[in-house]
Amino acid sequence: MTDSSTATPNPFGELRQGVFPSILKDPHADETTQPFWDAAADGRLVATRCTNCGTFRIPPAPYCYACQHTDTEWVELPGTGTIYTFTIVRHPLAPDLAPTVPYASGVIELDGTQGAGARMICNIVDVDVETVQIGDRVEIVWERVSDTMSTPRVRPIGGPPGAGA
Amino acid sequence: MSIKDQAAVVGVGATPYYKRGQSYPQSELEMACKATLLALEDAGLTINDLDGFAIYSYSCDPAQVASTLGVPEVRFAASLTSGGGGCAGALGLAAAAIHGGMANVCVTLMTLQQHKRRLGGSAVDGVLAYATMSEGGGAYGGSGIGPSVAFTANNGLLSPGHSFSLLTKRHMHQYGTKREHMAEVVMSSRENAIRRPLTALNRKPLTIDDYFNARMISDPLCLLDYTMESDGAVAVITVSAERARDLRQPPVYIMGSAHGGTGRWGPAIFRYFQAPDDEFASSGHRPVAKRVYEMAGITPGDVDVALLYDHFSPMVIMQLEDYGFCGIGEGGPFVADGNIRWGTGSIPVNTHGGNLSEAYIIGMTHVREAVEQLRGVAVNQVEDAEIALVTGGPASLPVSATLLRR
């Protein structure tokens, strides 16, 4: 397996433990989602907010679930948040993904929003998965996947425990 | 006006249950027909009496079944939307069709063969197939990926087990639920299955050590917390309460049936997990539970046996809470105290062994067991059982419940 000249290349590319590969290389955006990916390419997190009642919604949706208005504005968020819940995937989705496990992924409540409407589900990277806890503070890191897409992931604020400054 | 006590389940039919893929080379259509004919025969009816299909999860194509079996005239053909969450509620659909005068004899059925496909694998296979083919265009080129998919595709959570792990982890965090509690659900189901050699696919004795040594899939859910993967078909026949009295089997009356859920639960599972905080760590069944008890005019204390959809063991714990057998957040200690055990518990649960140990035919095994309990012919018979609760889901909306009585 160490002889790279004879090994079959992994269809998911180069894999490392803890990181689920960005299997989607393009956001397949439409006009309602393109601003999110434009900002992402720029390393910024933005979300749509209802101009009538202020409720956030990710991903963008045609109606506000709280007041049924349609108009939204794009708001830049701090890009930090709190782990609401998570799982540690220890058995890979497919044999080719074995090098990625264990990895942690979870639901992140984003700072600057009101919770449920603006949660994101992200792979939690740069961390010893065994130490992840609900309530941990995290920040978004963008993985540049292609010219059109940057995948949001999160990592502990301040880096992994014991990593030093 | 409601459907309360207006209709009754009068026939049950099933193929043998098989391990995943083992029903091949029968087809799903063939098994659907087989179960339907057996259910009609059980009721003392024939194919000439059948005129309605009240199904869920688009479990079969009524056109194909009706043409294959030569149903003289189909008068009702409807499915609850979404997936397995509708299994119990499809009985309510049948009752509504009959009470509303649209049909006389309805079949509700599921047929399942996982020879070429695996349930729960579709999201994974679809995205992975996309990933492997996207470089060269391939079969997915130009279509199939909607603009919202990108918000979840790369996060590594693409299977049902991943989704329910997220709910479970939150439940553990909020209420102190432990893996020992999930183990009790698994072991109780297994004990029930062990006594059912004719149907149960997994009757291997299980210890707590076996549970903790099982392969962890999506922490905190291990292999034994997951449903089995099975093949087979189960069908039941529903007619009006009046007609039921003249048929071969003792009627099992539909006291109440409800399906649905809150709008914000809809996208909660499998997608964006945006259910509000007070509903997140739940089975999503609370509004359905309230309505089904109201329609039937009973309380949780009146239920003698509960057949709770158990695709993942902690969802039994959350349903026990949401159906009022214990307080919210108390489901873990409730099962640990032995309350769901057959023979000794306050509310015996999944006396057939459930999806966890008997078979997984997307909920219809639970319906079958409810009927057998109320006929008094169950293998693990609950003494003097008069009222049974059967549920479908948690899953995407609708989830469902039906209360049955003898």
Q: Considering only alpha carbons, which residue of chain B is nearest residue A27?
A: B150
Q: What's the Cα-to-Cα distance from B205 to each of B190, B223, B302, rounded to whole Å? A: 7, 15, 32
| Mean pLDDT of all residues belonging to chain B | 93
Chain A closest CA to B59's CA: distance in Å?
Answer: 26
Sequence-separated (6 or more) residues with CB below 8 Å from residue B262: B275, B279, B284, B287, B397
Instruction: Enumerate the domain spans of chain A.
Output: 34-156
Q: Which of B132, B167, B272 to mutate to test the interface with A (most CBs of A within 10 A)?
A: B272
Confidence of residue B134 (pLDDT cuts 50, 70, 90): very low
CB contacts under 8 A, A 38-57 vs B, are none
- Distance from the Cα of A163 to chain B's closest Cα (Å) equals 24
The catalytic residue positions of B are 309, 360
B132: its two tokens? 């492997």
- State both tokens at A100: 């990625």
What digits encode the pLDDT tens for the residues A32-76?
A: 999 999 999 999 999 999 999 999 999 899 999 999 999 999 999
CB–CB contact B155 A58 (8 Å): no
Task: Output the pLDDT for position A165.
Answer: 35
Q: pLDDT per residue over B8-67, tens digit each? A: 999 999 999 999 999 999 999 999 999 999 999 999 999 999 999 999 999 999 999 999
The predicted pLDDT at position A88 comes to: 98
- Smallest Cβ–Cβ distance between A103 and the set B124, B156, B166 belongs to B156
Distances (CA, A) of B329 to A99, B100, B254: 37, 40, 30
Q: pLDDT tens for residues A116-126?
A: 778 999 999 99
- Predicted local confidence at residue B125, as pLDDT: 59
On the question of pLDDT at B128 being above 90, the answer is no
Out of A19-28, B200-209, B305-314, B372-381, least confident range: A19-28
Q: For a pLDDT cut of 90, what percent of chain B falls above it?
A: 83
Report which of B370, B361, B382 is spatially closest to residue B56, judged by C-alpha positions.
B361
In chain B, pLDDT over 70 holds for what percent of residues?
93
**Sign of torsion over alpha carbons B80, B83, B85, B88:** positive
| Interface with chain B: mutation pick from A20, A89, A122, A133, highest number of B CBs within 10 Å | A89
What is the predicted ipTM?
0.93
B-proximal residues of A, 60-119, CB under 8 Å:
65, 84-91, 93-94, 100, 102-103, 105-107, 115-117, 119
Lowest mean pLDDT among A45-49, B15-19, B74-78, B136-140: B136-140
The tens digit of pLDDT for each residue in B87-116 reads: 999 999 999 999 999 999 999 999 999 987
Asked, as a colleague might, if the bond just before B394 is cis with ω within 30 of 0, I would say: yes
Question: Is A94 close to B124, i.e. CB distance below 8 A?
Answer: yes
In Å, what is the CA distance from B172 to each residue of A29, A42, B182, B275?
37, 38, 11, 17
Give contacts of B318 with chain A, Cβ < 8 Å: none
CA distances, B54 to each of B11, B62, B74 (Å): 14, 9, 11
Phi and psi (nearest 5°) for B303?
-80, 130
**Greatest mean pLDDT among A150-164, B151-165, B215-229:** B215-229
pLDDT tens string B324-338: 999 999 999 999 999
Taking CA–CA distances from B163, the nearest residue in chain A reads: A87
Q: Looking at residues B284-290, what average pLDDT do you find?
A: 97
* Smallest Cα distance from B6 to chain A, Å: 37
pLDDT band at B138; cut points 50, 70, 90:
very low
Spell out which residues of chain A touch residue B159, defining contact as CB-CB under 8 Å: 93
Mean pLDDT of A141-160: 91
pLDDT at A162 over 50: no
B7-115+227-405 carries CATH number 3.40.47.10: yes
